[in-house]
Structure 1
Amino acid sequence: MSVLLGAWTSFAFYTVTKWILFNKMDSSYVSLTAGILLVLHYALNTISVTMMLTNIWKTKEICLLYINSRLLTEKVGTKYVKSPPIFDPLGLFLHLIIPPVLFIPVVATLAPLAQNGIDPYYVLFRNFTYFPKCVTLPGGNGLHPSHPSPLDDIKKTFLPENIFQKTLRFQQHLKTYRQLQILSTISNQVIYFFLPVGMFVVFLCAVTLICWMIKLNSVIPMASMVLSASLVPVLLGTPHYTFPIMADLNTQSDKLVRSWRVEASSRKAMWTKEVNSYGPIRANMGPFNFMRRKTRTQFFAAIFYNTASLVITVKV
């Protein structure tokens, strides 16, 4: 499936780029709905290919993270683990997105069969007459696999937040914290490309779909509206719940290191030098920056600002 996905994405990108550069694709070939669906399909394929390449190139790092995070979890134990809350918003969100994840591929595959003019693959397969439509549509949509988001695994990699919420005696836990720093460095290498690409894809799809629902609701078919209404909560809910988890890694670990430095100042110089070599654990956004508490606000502000600009600019 990974080989098929990579081959399909490369073929589609090459074909469309060639047609655009050499003016071989007339605007009458592609309807507005089909064009938007094609852009969204390429965006989702991009993040899928990024995940595929990350799993191939970073296999050893992923295995190292999985094994050592399990060992550290067993080492820390459940002594400092808080009882789970009665109501967990993140768990509720993950349960609520199960129906859209199952429903979206079915709608995306069957909607072009029932509604003419929204087939985004017509521009790619219009010269291939030996493929019946009932084969090309489900086959093309089926090349986009469903990958579970690794952002929830990132939280498990860095262990529960209680490690940073308790001011522990640093003589006993410096080694554990150093291991966490090493694991966080490896984790940042694993998500080096995926996290920035994923944020860009979420931004692009959210802006496009929200504008689509607001401005073009009288033009696009009802099936496409249902598809958009199912995707938008998933796109907005994912950064809403995952960004604070990643930002808390920096905040809580920074508080812990500062408390250790205060305690080490009254001890021997050896402990002071040891503690000063520790820094906060951060979830980096590729080569750009690390996740902060204000990142979620800035991300949503950019989505709403560009959506409003697009709604004002687009004329039906």
Structure 2
Amino acid sequence: MSVSIRVADVRKSYGDVVAVDGVSFEVDQGEFFGILGPNGAGKTTTLEIVEGLREADAGSVELLGMSPWPRNTALLPRMGVQLQGTAFFERLTAREQLVTFGSLYGVGPKKADAMLETVGLTDKAGTRVEKLSGGQAQRLSIACALVHDPEVVFLDEPTAALDPQARRNLWDLLRTINGEGRTVVLTTHHMDEAELLCDRVAIMDHGKILKIDPPAALVRGLDAATHITVDSGHLAPADLAAIADGVAETEDDGATITFTTRDPSTVLTALAEHRVLNGLRVRGATLEDVFLELTGREYRA
């Protein structure tokens, strides 16, 4: 499998602030690659360097076998970019926006119409952008990044501020984009998004990549407890203490009891013996647990 993106020891500082500190990774052709990190981790700066929007202070970047900096016009038709804050042309309809973006790459109106259908906005073709919902505007933004049929697509937090339904609709679109053979690079704050969509993820913090692996491999590598939840009120205090003794911590919020344990089979067997399986839920480690383990739990503004 050929490599679409190769980043080697890339560094970028703004005065005393180190934004990217020796980042290296590769993205294979057709891969869905995620970059995760808290605010200020260096995700967007890294992406902008790969896209050729910023010059690195040191290191090297190859995109489709070429250097994106200085601004490489040969790469522009081969990549699509959806920024955190895409600005549309004023007073144009959704179709007019796409036709205008397409014309910059020599693409005709028929392709714009096809892209409207791909992103589910055919019925909004005549609607001006300011009248679109947040999810519709994000889909139009992605359509603008795809209208010239790029080989590599960069998406910087495409589902930020969307409601759950709009997010899931956009996920379906992103799966379709990747399923057509395009390489997709995504930055996101949503762990469930990365876990569902990405073949591999890189977790960044303080300008460094901490780990790169498929989401499932990262989760398997985390030594985390299992959380077992059942409905409250079905266990006598003595039975509850006996089940938890030596294998679990318990928390009773009045509605449910949660056992936090590294020996789930023992707790589950005891609950079954007491016929206390009402509301049973078992949750192992998630990508969010990995993320917090690597980056910490303090609030990042």
TM surpasses 0.5: no
Greater fraction helix = 1
Higher relative contact order (CA 8 A, sep 6+): 1
TM-score of the two chains, using structure 1 as the length reference: 0.28
Greater fraction strand = 2
